[in-house]
């Protein structure tokens, strides 16, 4: 009996050690993702180049506000995904819901930008190509985020998957907005940001498929 108790204690100790090794604090995990996203974004912008009038358009109120709001979405989804990767959300349910506030602010900025776009800027000749480019660039961030979350124990798989995919899509959207010389807010809303709805729905399915345990 004593040997059996010693075996159980040894196995429990091994399991605890393994859990500690594989489960970093969610804040550190989120910062790791944000650092990887920043490096990835910098490489992508180096390869594609910045839009030539970036310094000029940053002086425009609503473009700068849009970039800041989109960056806040990126940060909020990163922290939320990290918390959702844990069964108890690390006792920070409010922070896990932060993307809701970030998206509300983002939509408000887009609304003001749309109202200020008078007369409307000319539409670019391309349309769905922007959505495709953003999606392709988001594949790698989505893969590394899901891989990290897969090693943990989320009990909110659908919500976690949706937030993880939106986090990755935000990286692609930020890249294209900083590289594409396009001032049409109507085009941006239709082909850059509206697809986020479909992406979020896809994330619900991916979360169930990939993060369930």
Q: What is the pLDDT of residues 138-154, one digit of tens each?
A: 999 999 999 999 988 88
Segments of the chain with pLDDT less than 50: 4, 7-8, 11, 14-20
158 found inside a domain: yes
11 found inside a domain: no
pLDDT of 3? 52
Dist CA 212 CA 146 (whole Å): 11
12 found inside a domain: no
165 found inside a domain: yes
| Structural domains counted in the chain | 1
The parent domain of residue 53 ranges over: 25-210
Nearest residue to 163 via CA among 72, 86, 34, 76 = 76
Dist CA 203 CA 162 (whole Å): 4
8 found inside a domain: no
DSSP 8-state code for residue 89: G
Cα 87 to Cα 26, 76, 98, 203, distances in angstroms: 12, 19, 18, 18
pLDDT of 12? 53
Cα 111 to Cα 43, 60, 98, 114, distances in angstroms: 31, 15, 20, 5
Dist CA 201 CA 134 (whole Å): 17
Query: What value, to the nearest 5°, has the Cα angle with vertex 141 and ends 139 and 146?
Result: 95
1 found inside a domain: no
81 found inside a domain: yes
Alpha-carbon torsion 141, 102, 25, 88, what sign?
A: negative
109 found inside a domain: yes
């Amino acid at each position: 009996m004593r040997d059996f108790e010693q075996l159980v204690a040894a196995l429990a100790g091994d399991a605890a050690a393994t859990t500690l090794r594989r489960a970093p604090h969610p804040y550190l995990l989120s910062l790791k993702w944000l650092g990887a996203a920043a490096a990835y974004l910098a490489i992508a912008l180096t390869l594609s180049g910045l839009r030539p009038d970036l310094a000029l358009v940053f002086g425009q109120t609503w473009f700068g506000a849009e970039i800041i709001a989109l960056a806040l979405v990126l940060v909020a989804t990163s922290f939320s995904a990290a918390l959702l990767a844990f069964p108890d959300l690390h006792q920070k349910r409010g922070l896990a819901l932060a993307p809701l506030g970030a998206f509300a602010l983002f939509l408000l900025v887009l609304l003001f930008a749309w109202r200020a776009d008078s007369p409307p800027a000319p539409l670019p000749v391309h349309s769905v190509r922007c959505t495709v480019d953003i999606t392709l660039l988001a594949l790698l961030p989505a893969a590394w985020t899901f891989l990290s979350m897969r090693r943990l124990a989320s009990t909110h798989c659908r919500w976690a998957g949706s937030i993880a995919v939106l986090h990755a899509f935000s990286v692609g959207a930020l890249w294209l907005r900083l590289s594409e010389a396009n001032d049409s807010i109507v085009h941006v809303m239709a082909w850059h940001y509206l697809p986020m709805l479909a992406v979020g729905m896809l994330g619900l399915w991916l979360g169930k498929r990939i993060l369930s345990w």
